[in-house]
Amino acid sequence: MPTEDTEDRREYYRIDDVIALEILPLEDAETPSRDGSTRLFDLLGELHQLDFETQHLLRQIADNNRTLANYLKVQNKRIDLIGQMLAQGLQRDLGPTRQVVLSEGGISFVNDCPLEEGSIWTLKLVLMPQGLGLMLTARIASCQPLDDARFAIGTSFEALTDAQRQLLARHILQKQATARRLARESLQEQ
């Protein structure tokens, strides 16, 4: 493989997505807040974290008792539906959704004000439709003016936990699968 092709390859697959995004100075995220939207955001993140951490247990149960495993999967879906309803309310609290380019390594988006390259911010993301709430630390990698009032911001995530990276990867894979399915359906309709 030529060197230029290797240099152009990206470390992580990127998707176009529409998410709720709130940008906070690092010190604001470290200050405990008692408002309802922050507690709800934390709850959603914890629900998805617990789901991630228990997947191996569900597989073990399925090996020994399929009926119990199927019942637990149904209960999990019920909890997911409740989480999605809560996330819709939280999404409204974070403000309008925005187009982003998302990967396991970072996120790019358009912002109304410039962010200093190299600065570190806290990003609150609500990924839909599953209502996954993630609070991630990101370093501003680039800030390019688009016009007088908008800036293209590129970030790289800092110090992601393995669970956060896995949750992002699962979301990206689900979006890819949905896009492929829609493309196939579109071709079949033609």
Predicted TM-score of the model (pTM): 0.72
* DSSP secondary structure string for all residues of 82-145: HHHHHHHHHHHHH-S-EEEEE-SS-EEEEESS---TT-EEEEEEEETTTTEEEEEEEEEEEEEE
- The burial of 170, by beta-carbon neighbours within 10 Å (0-12 exposed, 13-18 middle, 19 or more buried), is given as middle
Helix (H, G, I), strand (E, B) or coil at 13: coil
- What's the CA gap between 144 and 150, in Å, rounded? 9
- What's the CA gap between 168 and 83, in Å, rounded? 17
- What's the CA gap between 179 and 171, in Å, rounded? 12
- Please report, for the chain, the start and end positions of each structural domain, with discontinuous segments joined by +: 12-28+36-189
* Per-residue pLDDT tens over the stretch 68-124: 989 998 988 888 788 777 777 766 666 678 899 999 999 999 999 999 999 999 998
Q: Give CATH superfamily name and number for 12-28+36-189.
A: predicted glycosyltransferase like domains (2.40.10.220)
- What's the CA gap between 97 and 104, in Å, rounded? 20
* Per-residue pLDDT tens over the stretch 23-73: 888 776 555 554 556 677 777 777 777 877 888 888 899 999 999 989 998
User: Which carries the bigger pLDDT value, residue 157 or residue 9?
Assistant: 157
User: Which carries the bigger pLDDT value, residue 51 or residue 165?
Assistant: 165
The maximal CA–CA distance of the chain, rounded, in angstroms, is 62
